[in-house]
Amino acid sequence: MTASRPVLHPPANMRTLRPSTRSTLFLAFTIAASTCIQNIVVVSANDNGLALTPPMGWRSWNQYGGNVDQVLMQLIMDGMVDRGRTDHNGQPTSLCGLGYCDVGLDDNWQDCGSANAAPGMHYHDIDGNPIVDLKRFPDLRRMTAYAHSLNLTAGFYGNNCICSDHCRNDTECDLHIQGDTKALVGFDFDSWKLDGCGGENDMASFDRYIRKMANRPVLVESCHWGVPKYDPDPNLPPRQGCPWNFYRSSGDIQLSYSSVLWNLASVERYRAINASVPSCWAYPDMLQIGIRRRDDGTLGLNRAESRSHFGAWCIVSSPLFLGHDVNDEEVNDAIWDIISNREAIAVNQAYAGDSGGVYETSSFLVHVDVNPSVATSRNRHLRVPGAYSEVPSYRYLSKPLGGGKVAVLLMNCSREATKLTAKFSDVAGLSCNDDTACRCKVRNIWTHKDEGSYDGSWSTIVAGHDAAFIIVEAI
């Protein structure tokens, strides 16, 4: 029996919505902590009906880079629906069962240097059609059909970075955009990451051709690294001002804790003007949880850093895209309880008018490790030498969940265990004007247990590079 096509759609309860230097990094967090969220949404989101909650899935780049092929992608698809593990309630589930259902390519499907490429191009022919590397991907249509048979959705990749094609004028660029959109539709992909490396950067044109050629909405990521030119524009109609469903707020994330902190900070300027909203989410890049270093095979982030990373992406409403080898049982053993945490995911998927972010930072700076690859990142727009070396020793983030509940993440950025305190009167949404009169219930997201009721504040010892993740409700 042929399985019906999976459909990208929001959960039922959301369907009623309409669609540096040391000082530089410190300043980013300081501004974020002192900036008030505007009361009105200034960005009109994409009206294609998708991504009413932050999208979830898997992308190939962080673990595999250009070492991808059809066999690998279909093995990953198998792993995404494997129900060999349980959630914290002991119920068998899969990654897709948790919400990670969109499985996407991230570069190197194209035939670089094809003999059929147009003069001056690497992988587009004279008619603007992209040329597939058939040795790596003999049948992309069959690959997407396989995803659909597993009730997954399949993600394509465009405006490629490996052997990028730079169209030379508006006519040629339009030809390439049309050709790439025809390929997207012809191969039956459901989502599309559009990178910023080639010459196809007219996102409104992509949206227009998708609507013209496809018989259904397509989930679109704009990957232009937080360059202001490609920010959402509130002065334009949705199809011009935000013709995508989520957009990169930063350069490429690297496999280091310092890079996690830097990318996290990049969402704050969008949150401050309420520009990260349903169907138009700010996105600090893919998750580095469970990624092995390519030189020695060890995990790039330790357990504390992985938990802090996941909690941070959840509380700022970032799309959640895994990148590890989902069939590596050793990795799964190390990270499963983090990425399968339904309470953390529920925080990520909630939206009550504020996408979440920093409300307090320490004035004391601490040194964090610098990953040498950060300085040589392919992102040429946001490189700030030395910016990763010192950060505030702690930062506190919050996100209203509705119904009087607020999620709070207390991040310890130092290497030493530290006592961190959530002062209830500082947490927006709790309506606590008097410390002594504010009594709150506290729920621990990591342990899935109620901590009890507290007057004025809640404190805990947090290990180095770890984070406490709680839900607070005034009583």
Residue 433 — very low, low, confident or very high, per pLDDT cuts 50/70/90? Answer: low
Q: What is the pLDDT of residue 23?
A: 33
Residue percentage of the chain with pLDDT more than 90: 80
Task: Please check the confidence at residue 372 and state whether its pLDDT lies above 90.
Answer: no
Q: What is the pLDDT of residue 431?
A: 79
Residue percentage of the chain with pLDDT more than 70: 86
**Residues 6 or more apart from 345 whose CB is under 8 A from it?**
56, 98, 99, 314, 320
Q: What is the pLDDT of residue 43?
A: 59
Residue 370 — very low, low, confident or very high, per pLDDT cuts 50/70/90? Answer: low
Residue 429 — very low, low, confident or very high, per pLDDT cuts 50/70/90? Answer: confident
Q: Distance between CA 427 and CA 397 in Å, rounded?
A: 9
Going by the DSSP 8-state scheme, the letter that residue 421 receives in this structure is E
What is the average pLDDT score of the chain? 88
Residue 218 — very low, low, confident or very high, per pLDDT cuts 50/70/90? Answer: very high
Q: Lowest-confidence range among 40-49, 205-214, 233-242, 378-387?
A: 378-387
Q: What is the pLDDT of residue 297?
A: 95
**Residues 6 or more apart from 89 whose CB is under 8 A from it?**
none
Segment 56-72, tens digit of pLDDT: 999 999 999 999 999 99
Segment 82-121, tens digit of pLDDT: 999 999 999 999 999 999 999 999 999 999 999 999 999 9
Q: Distance between CA 177 and CA 59 in Å, rounded?
A: 22
**Residues 6 or more apart from 159 whose CB is under 8 A from it?**
180, 194, 195, 196, 197, 198, 199, 200, 201
Q: What is the pLDDT of residue 26?
A: 37
For residue 258, CA distances in Å to 274, 284, 317, 358, 389 come to: 26, 13, 20, 17, 8
Q: What is the pLDDT of residue 432?
A: 80
Q: Please, are residues 283 and 57 in contact by the beta-carbon 8 Å criterion? A: no
Q: What is the pLDDT of residue 33?
A: 43
Task: Please check the confidence at residue 314 and state whether its pLDDT lies above 80.
Answer: yes
Task: Please check the confidence at residue 9 and state whether its pLDDT lies above 80.
Answer: no
Q: Lowest-confidence range among 123-137, 224-238, 297-311, 379-393?
A: 379-393
Residue 324 — very low, low, confident or very high, per pLDDT cuts 50/70/90? Answer: very high
Average pLDDT value for residue range 337-356: 98
Average pLDDT value for residue range 74-80: 98
Segment 140-174, tens digit of pLDDT: 999 999 999 999 999 999 999 999 999 999 999 99
